[in-house]
Copies of this chain bind each other. A is one copy, B any other.
Amino acid sequence: MNSTPAGKRPGPARATIVDVARAAGVSRQTVTRAVNDMPGINPATRDRVLAAVRELNYHPSRFGRGLVKPSARTLGLVLGDLTNPYYADLAATVLRLAAARGWTVVMAEPGSVTDLVGGVDAVVGFTGLALEPPGAGAPNLPVVEIDPPRAHPGHGRIEFERWTATRDAVRHLLERGTRRPVVLDMPSRSSRGRTFVEAFGEAGLEAVVVDRDTPWADLAPLRPDALVAFNDLGGFRLLRELEAHGVAVPGQVRVVGVDGLAVGEFVTPRLSTLAIDLAEVARAALDLVLALSEGPGRDGASELVRVVPHRFLAREST
């Protein structure tokens, strides 16, 4: 009498709208009306349907529903290791903002971005170059990249403005007597590192650039009086090493980080840093994604970029 194999069910098969309709003795769309709280349904009927819903433990399939109403949007959030509070803080804000806008958020690491394609309606994050899908050409999705090493045509972009804050930091360091600054950077050189080197240059100082993970043992021979860490986490590491070696901070060596992590308030001495308002980054990224998702004409390429400024936070380590 029905199309299912009949008799014993193979397992805990989820109840469908048809099961509920049958149990309540109504049609499928009456179930829809009751479940989705739509008008034009007899209260008694609704109650009967909801009772059946409860009884059968029915939950609408997201697939069936998604097929029909394209409104349920899913955002792919691509971030580095959440173990780094910088990414975690950003994720926290994006999550909150996305939920407020009715989006669902799927998380992925840069390595598994391609799993996202086809599963989400838009992508936000530090996608890097991992975005190129293997076989099927570039994804048609709205993509917003945060602080990408280089612009990607067609993608939205959140750019970090570092000049003002970096100059502030350099001026601050100079005022405290810095003469031999060392900048710790990635082997491939980052925008943050270059900006610091240039700013020092403007001030008449030539900064030495070394690898971001260089231990103090290898730093000491350079006799630095200021260390620019690659990020706050690196700054924490430096602070610890300096303390272990009995080097006074900021007395002998000043240390500045980049990111503006909240935990920087808890280390000793508290870490001076180039902070960025992660909430603003998240907000800008989400706005851009929305614009890309809905806006039809993409003529003004300038529309695709949002700029968020850093600011220098002088705490105790400088």
Contact = CB atoms under 8 A, between A and B. Distances in A.
Interface of A: 11-12, 14-15, 35, 50, 53-54, 57-67, 72, 74, 77, 81-83, 85, 87-89, 91-92, 95-96, 99, 104-109, 112, 115, 117-120, 135-141, 236-237, 239-240, 243, 262-263, 265-268, 296
Nearest first, the 8 closest Cβ-Cβ pairs linking A and B are: A88-B88, A268-B268, A54-B137, A63-B66, A82-B92, A57-B140, A236-B266, A63-B67
B106 A54 contact: no
B106 A104 contact: yes
A83 B12 contact: no
8 contacts: A57-B139, A59-B136, A62-B63, A82-B91, A87-B88, A99-B112, A107-B107, A239-B266
A92 B99 contact: no
A82 B268 CA distance: 23
A89 B82 contact: yes
Contacts of A119: 62, 72, 104
A54 B263 CA distance: 46
Given A77-B107, A268-B268, 19 more contacts: A11-B296, A50-B135, A62-B66, A63-B64, A63-B67, A67-B67, A74-B106, A82-B88, A82-B92, A82-B95, A83-B85, A83-B89, A83-B262, A85-B88, A87-B88, A91-B91, A99-B112, A263-B266, A266-B267
Contacts of A15: 140
Given A136-B59, A263-B85, A104 B115 contact: yes
